[in-house]
Amino acid sequence: MRDIVMSIDEGTTGVTVVLLDRSLNLLGKVNNEFPQYYPQPGWVEHSAEEIWACTLKTIDETIRLADVDPGRIAAIGITNQRETTVLWDRATGHSVHKAIVWQDRRTAPLCERLKKKGLEAKVKKKTGLVLDPYFSGTKIQWLLDHVSGLRPRAKAGEIAFGTMDSYLVYQLSGGKIHVTDVSNASRTLLMNLETLSWDPELLKIFQIPATLLPEIKTCSEIYGYTKNIPGLPDGIPIAGMAGDQQSALFGQACFTAGEAKCTYGTGSFLLMNTGKKLVRSRAGMLTTVAWKLGNEVCYALEGSAFIAGAAVQWLRDGLKVLHKSSEVEALAASVPDSGGVTFVPAFVGLGAPHWRPNARGIISGITRGTTTAHIARATLEGIAFLQYDILQAMQRDLGKKLKVLKVDGGASVNELLMQFQSDLLGVDLVRPKMIETTALGAAFLAGLAVGVWKDQKEIASSWLEDRRFRPLQGKKQIAAHVARWQEAVKRA
């Protein structure tokens, strides 16, 4: 009896594998981290081989922990860090260079050259994105231009490009399947938002041969089957795929236009469902594909902040004021406020709505009385302020105010952060019972494809609220906070 869904969440710092049954009982969950590489300031890389090894290890450990027969797995769903770019040899499956991570800023000069050529308006109209190093297109171009002999091999069809979803499906299927889904494809700068196909004019702009590219599929269908994976039987359908933020939107059951969620992970990402309507932002937001099910396409507005949990990791690893990231809440709560300290965590530039790739982090307002507790509190506030900027821009685009924001991701368990975020936004924040909504969304998409769940209505009925945070601070207090933040952002 096949009654379990496996979800593989390939994130920026590690791989999480989750096993769920139809009633959403969590049968097993394991997370393993993999190394990060920083060859130069502003450059961030991963080893695709290390990610694959970590994935295999995590699958094995999850099945052992759950103590279930892997023959019960009805389908596998995949969700992934988006924009991260890997090129590999089709014959061997080996990457030709380390993967360039979404946070990487090395292509900022290339983006500037394209802007000076007057191409940004055209690119934005076709893709809903801005010309920023964040996205995959310029990363692919950089690899083709800097890895010796790669461009002719790519033109000859020997090389495959993928975001991490493509790479994992390729490996899980024994090198047989080279696909991506519309949500990940919409983050490459290469897919036309209206046709949902690779755009020849965009490929020409970024000098990318079509021979590199995967086939674009929906988010819920059988792409292929497992082959030669240790611990798994051959023939398990690989049946659901979505970029991590779209997957979280689906996992939060934000199925109606106007519903929104914010995921607090390494970065933070606020997405609002706009339904069948393709809303083009005038306020620095991104227009993206949320998902495609059958012939039905759902779009979203998105605001991305490149740094969220990564700021807390910096307190732990860089400043060494924490032994564990989880200690940040208690340290921050040991003082009543930040003591006038403001932290703009622009380690790798500022994302939406600012789009300043050359911005860098700044801590202001330090006095002789400033302690590590004030800096810890300012760090949490900085994460929240980035969401404030995004939501203000999003509301300008839509011409109406949000009433409720669903939250998830690792940092959503930080109650001090969630309360300050609610105060700052002036809206209720709702945290679900299961905060692993990214993995849950991929599980739902895979399960829908093979009949584990009947439809979105059944999924929505299973979504459960854990806690609601309501705004407590007054408008004058919030105005003072915002003024302090805006002054600091100017200097970042």
With helix as H, strand as E and coil as C, how does 76-134 read? EEEEECCCCEEEEECCCCCECCCEECCCCCCCHHHHHHHHHCCCHHHHHHHHCCCCCCC
Instruction: Give per-residue pLDDT as tens, 355-392.
Output: 887 899 999 999 999 999 999 999 999 999 999 999 88
Q: Confirm whether pTM is higher than 0.85.
A: yes
What is the reported pLDDT for 184?
A: 96
Instruction: Give per-residue pLDDT as tens, 230-271.
Output: 989 999 999 999 999 999 999 999 998 888 999 898 888 899
Instruction: Give per-residue pLDDT as tens, 104-163.
Output: 989 999 999 999 999 999 999 999 888 989 899 999 999 999 999 999 999 999 999 999
Pairing mode of beta strands 159-162, 86-89:
antiparallel
Tell me: pLDDT of 96 over 90: yes
What is the reported pLDDT for 395?
A: 84
d(CA 325, CA 312): 6
What is the reported pLDDT for 397?
A: 83
Burial of 202 (0-12, 13-18, 19+ CB in 10 A): buried
Tell me: pLDDT of 459 over 80: yes
What is the reported pLDDT for 117?
A: 94
**CATH 3.10.450.30 for domain 4-245:** no
Q: Which helix (H) or strand (E) holds 29?
A: strand 26-33
Instruction: Give per-residue pLDDT as tens, 44-61.
Output: 999 999 999 999 999 999
Instruction: Give per-residue pLDDT as tens, 51-89.
Output: 999 999 999 999 999 999 999 999 999 999 999 999 999
What is the average pLDDT across 423-431?
93
What is the average pLDDT across 202-212?
95
Strands across the sheet with 465-469, in order?
A: 286-293, 296-305, 268-275, 260-264, 404-408, 428-432, 465-469
Domain coordinates in residue numbering, the chain: 4-245
What is the average pLDDT across 416-422?
96
The CA-based angle 246-252-258, given to 5 degrees, is 75
Instruction: Give per-residue pLDDT as tens, 273-325.
Output: 989 988 888 888 888 999 999 999 999 999 888 888 889 999 999 999 999 99
Mean pLDDT score of the chain = 92
User: pLDDT > 90: what percent of the chain?
Assistant: 74
Given the structure tokens 């240790």, which residue do they identify? 230
Query: Which residues, in sequence order, are CB contacts of 56 under 8 Å at separation 6+?
Result: 229, 230, 231
Query: Strand pairing partners for 344?
Result: 362
What is the reported pLDDT for 279?
A: 86
